[in-house]
Structure 1
Amino acid sequence: MPPLKRYFITNGQFLITTVAAEIYTVLGSCVSVCLWDKQKKMGGMNHYLMPGALENRSGDPDLGYSSTSMLIRSMLNRGASIENLEAKIFGGCNSWASDQTIFSVGLRNVAVADQLLNNAGIQITARHTGGYSGRKIVFNTGTGKVKMYVLSKSAAEVNEAIYKGFGY
C-alpha cells in the first residue's frame, strides 16, 4: 500500500478529504476539531486561533465560531450525516502559564468547539485540551484515528529561552 498523502494546516485553515490521508498541525492555545464520518470514511480538520463571537458573520476561518461552523457545513455538503459524525478536540493550552481569564484564550477556544458540536448534535468521542504544553496532532482520515504528541516545552519556556539567548 502506498504511503498516505500528508497535508499540513495552520491557523485559519481547514481541510476535508474523502480519501485516506493524514492531516497534521501544531497547536498551542489554538484548537483543532477533527470530524470523521465513520460510514463514508470522510474526514476534516480545522485549526483556529481565537474564539470569535457567535454573532460575528464575517466568515473569518481564524475564529472558532466561523471555522467550526464552516467545517461542519462543508462536511454535510459533501454528504456526511450528523448521525455518523464523530468529533475529536485538541489544543487550547494556556501557554502563558497565567490563570487570568483575559489570557485564557485556549480555554475559550475549547468552549467554542464544545458549544458548536453539542448544538449540532455531533458526538465528541475524544479530547485532549488545556494544560500548559502544545501538541502536534496527526489525523488519519481513513481510520478516524488521531496520533497526538505533547510538546516538551511550553511556549512560555521557549520564549524565556529565547529572551535569555539560549544560555549563550
Structure 2
Amino acid sequence: MEQYSQHFLYPSTLFASKEPYVVKTILGSCVAICLWDQENRIGGINHYMLPTWSGNDLASPKYGNIAIDKLLERMGQLGARRDNIKAKIFGGGELIESGGNGTLIGERNIRVARMILEEKKIPVVASSTGGRKGRKILFFTDSGEVRHKFLDKKAQ
C-alpha cells in the first residue's frame, strides 16, 4: 500500500480516480458500490445511507439512486467507458434491531443497488451484503481489488 494515496470515504460521499488510491470506508446499513473500468484503470466508490431520493430535499449522494448516477458521471469525466465498468456491492447490514414491520433499510439499500446496476447493464462481479455486522472496506482504484472485514457491532 506504500505507493497508494489514501482517502477516507464518509457517508453520503463518493470518490473516483485515475491515480492509484486506496479508499477506506466503514459500513453498517449503508451500502458502498465499487465501480471499476479495467481497461482505463479508473475506479470509483460511493457510500450511501438511504435507497432513493424522494425529491423533497437536496438530491445528494446520501441516496442510492443519486449516488450511483453521480459516480458513473464522475468516472465518465475521468475517461471511463460504461461498457467496461464492473461493480462490487458491500454493506446493507442490519446492525440495529428494528421493531418495524416494513422492509429493513439495509435490504432496501442493497435492492436499489442491484436494480439500478441491472438497469444500466453493469455486471455485479462480487458482493458481501446483509447480515448483522458492519464492514470495513479497502478499495484499490487501479486494480478494482476490494479487501473487507467484518466488524462487531461494538466497533461502530
- Same structural fold, with TM-score higher than 0.5 when normalized by the shorter chain: yes
Per the alignment, in what secondary structure is the counterpart of residue 102 of structure 2? helix
Partner residue, 2:70: 70
CA contact (8 A) 2:17 2:75 kept: no
Structure with greater Cα Rg:
1
Partner residue, 2:27: 27
Per the alignment, in what secondary structure is the counterpart of residue 102 of structure 1? coil
Partner residue, 2:37: 37
Deviation at 1:59, TM superposition (A): 2.1
CA contact (8 A) 1:96 1:103 kept: no
CA contact (8 A) 2:43 2:142 kept: yes
CA contact (8 A) 1:15 1:44 kept: yes
Greater RCO between the two (CA within 8 Å, min separation 6)? 2
Aligned residues: 154
CA distance in 1, matches of 2:132, 2:125: 22
CA distance in 2, matches of 1:115, 1:40: 25
| % identity of equivalent residues | 34
Larger CA deviation: 111-120 vs 132-141: 111-120
Structure (1/2) with the larger helix percentage: 1
Partner residue, 1:93: 93
Larger CA deviation: 77-86 vs 122-131: 77-86
Matched, 1:56 2:68: no
Go from structure 1 to structure 2 and tell me whether the alpha carbon gap of 1:101 and 1:33 turns closer, same or farther (over 3 Å shift).
farther
Runs (4 or more) in structure 1 with deviation over 6 Å come to none
Go from structure 1 to structure 2 and tell me whether the alpha carbon gap of 1:102 and 1:38 turns closer, same or farther (over 3 Å shift).
same
- 5+ long unaligned stretches in structure 2: none
Scaled by the length of structure 1, the TM-score of the pair is 0.84
CA distance in 2, matches of 1:86, 1:127: 12
Q: Give RMSD over aligned pairs.
A: 2.0
